Chains A and B, each alone.
Chain A
Amino acid sequence: MQAFEYIPATTVKEAIAILAREGEQARVLSGGTDLIVQLREGRRKVRAVIDIKQIPEVNELSYDPATGLQIGAAVPCYRIYGSPAIAAAYPGLIDAVSLIGGVQIQGRATLGGNLCNSSPAADSIPALIAHQASALVMGENGERRIPIEEFCIAPGRTQLQRGEILLSIHIPPVSPYSGGAYLRFIPRNEMDIAVVGVGAWVALDQSGTTITAARIALGAVAPTPLYVPESGAGLIGKLVSSETVAEAATIAQAAARPITDMRGSAQQRSHLVGVLTRRALHIALKRAGYKSA
């Protein structure tokens, strides 16, 4: 690859200053599992990489049942699923985090990087959207918070402006009678990029039979991960049943805009959106406490 400078930043301020100065010529390095491959294959060219792994704030991983889950931009996947409390509270997120690559990828890859890389097929993003996560971004003009569903604007491009850096991702506290799930379809059993991914999250009423909230997001069927509000909205107030779930799946299918590429055909993907939405919803419902008769 073309030569670049390696800059280990120690503060957020330092990182922001370099990003502001270099613009597209610099790229943040956290896990490196996407960036290093892109640089090596010539798909990205930069003058400098800014290693943020020494910056304390972006390495913080904290969970408080009252305030929710905060994942620093440089926290690798293995730390997230390695926390029993987080795994118990957010199984739907863990579904995704433990699917990115394989064990050795998860030793380096970060959720922040997965988000900022903005691949249409990223595994974590539909799960984050379903869990109503938001990104905390810092720039020269201060902080701002961006809902994950708005974060990615095109393959490889995000809302981050020049001089901005992702600090952390926040997932709201677990509401009672709620549950999430992420399912993806791949041809093998691991190591593949998602052909289709679906993140689903539901909340039930106290009786556990009626849906009070639902969020569904799709991966690999549009230029960016796709939040399908109408699919979740259609579930609100409905009694849980196979028909309700199937309806939500059909709505999700209609929203998908899949292409045919070497990983799958458009027809196959469209079909899989329906199948996986149904299955993900069933898991989410079960986790939310729904007990089928």
Chain B
Amino acid sequence: MANKTAVQATINGEDVEFLCEPHQSLLEVLRDVLRLTGTKEGCNNGNCGACNVILDGVLVNSCLVLGVEAQGKRITTIEGIAPPHGLHPLQQKFLEHAALQCGICTPGFIISAKALLDHNPHPSEHEVRHWLAGNLCRCTGYDKIVRAVLDAADVMAVEVSK
């Protein structure tokens, strides 16, 4: 058995320390070591986006990051999106637009959408679709997801301007 490394990172604003072996992905660490099961495994090779997290402000597949690479990093997972009470506008709009059916891809989409709106607060429909192309959904055909993200962008823009 390879040696376990102690890793310090900040996850959803909280400083954490965990042990992991070099071969364990960040996805595995989140789900099995830290018990943050909101991030999902769909393919384990970077093709579906269900495992997306935000790493130092950058959208990444957590299945393609090693747990040890999280050393010193700031990570946002789905569990860190909502404010202390209530829901983030993206989450609220996903519910209002019925932008989820089975819900397994939803955490990945919300993380991706958040990264998009952090980066580009006024995306066009095409820009939304392009950004979300790495998040696969099999239930919705994406229509309501795209509408929810565009609607959330409008709401968040209004809040910023307030």
User: Residues of A at under 8 Å CB distance from B?
Assistant: 1-6, 8, 29, 31-33, 36-37, 39-41, 49, 51, 53, 76, 78, 101-105, 107-108, 189-191
CB distance from B71 to the nearest CB of A (A): 8
CB distance from A31 to the nearest CB of B (A): 8
> Bound state CA distance, A90 and B151, in angstroms?
35
Contact of B59 among A4, A51, A103, A190 (CB under 8 A): A103
Residues on the B chain within 8 Å of A78, using CB: 58
Chain A residue nearest to B108 in the complex (CB): A104
Q: Which of A49, A76, A78, A107 has the most CB of B within 10 A?
A: A107
B22 near A105 with CB under 8 A, answer no
> Bound state CA distance, A53 and B55, in angstroms?
14
> Bound state CA distance, A36 and B58, in angstroms?
19
> Bound state CA distance, A189 and B134, in angstroms?
11
Residues on the A chain within 8 Å of B112, using CB: 103-104
Q: Does B61 interact with chain A (Cβ within 8 Å)?
A: yes
> Bound state CA distance, A8 and B5, in angstroms?
12
Residues on the B chain within 8 Å of A2, using CB: 23
Q: Select the stretch in B44-52, B85-93, B95-103, B139-147 that faces chain A.
A: B44-52
Residues on the A chain within 8 Å of B64, using CB: 31-33, 36-37, 105, 108
Q: Which of B47, B60, B63, B112 has the most CB of A within 10 A?
A: B60
Residues on the B chain within 8 Å of A32, using CB: 64-66, 69
> Bound state CA distance, A5 and B22, in angstroms?
6
B23 near A39 with CB under 8 A, answer yes
Q: Which of B21, B63, B64, B134 has the most CB of A within 10 A?
A: B64
Residues on the A chain within 8 Å of B131, using CB: 103
Contact of A107 among B25, B59, B66 (CB under 8 A): B59
A108 near B60 with CB under 8 A, answer yes
Q: Does B130 interact with chain A (Cβ within 8 Å)?
A: yes
Q: Does B82 interact with chain A (Cβ within 8 Å)?
A: no
> Bound state CA distance, A108 and B69, in angstroms?
11
Chosen A-B contacts, 28 in total, with CB atoms closer than 8 Å, are A4-B2, A5-B2, A6-B66, A8-B68, A8-B71, A32-B69, A33-B61, A33-B64, A36-B64, A40-B45, A49-B66, A51-B69, A78-B58, A102-B49, A103-B131, A104-B49, A104-B61, A104-B112, A104-B134, A105-B64, A107-B55, A108-B61, A108-B65, A189-B133, A190-B130, A190-B134, A191-B47, A191-B133
Q: Does B158 interact with chain A (Cβ within 8 Å)?
A: no
User: Residues of B at under 8 Å CB distance from A?
Assistant: 1-3, 5, 21-23, 25, 44-47, 49, 52, 55, 58-61, 63-66, 68-69, 71, 112, 115, 130-131, 133-134
Residues on the A chain within 8 Å of B21, using CB: 3
> Bound state CA distance, A1 and B65, in angstroms?
14
Residues on the B chain within 8 Å of A104, using CB: 46, 49, 52, 59-61, 112, 134
> Bound state CA distance, A51 and B115, in angstroms?
26
Residues on the B chain within 8 Å of A189, using CB: 133
> Bound state CA distance, A105 and B60, in angstroms?
6
Residues on the B chain within 8 Å of A107, using CB: 55, 58-60
> Bound state CA distance, A3 and B39, in angstroms?
24
Give 8 A-B pairs besides A3-B22, A104-B52 with Cβ atoms closer than 8 angstroms. Answer: A1-B23, A3-B2, A4-B23, A6-B66, A40-B44, A102-B49, A104-B134, A105-B61
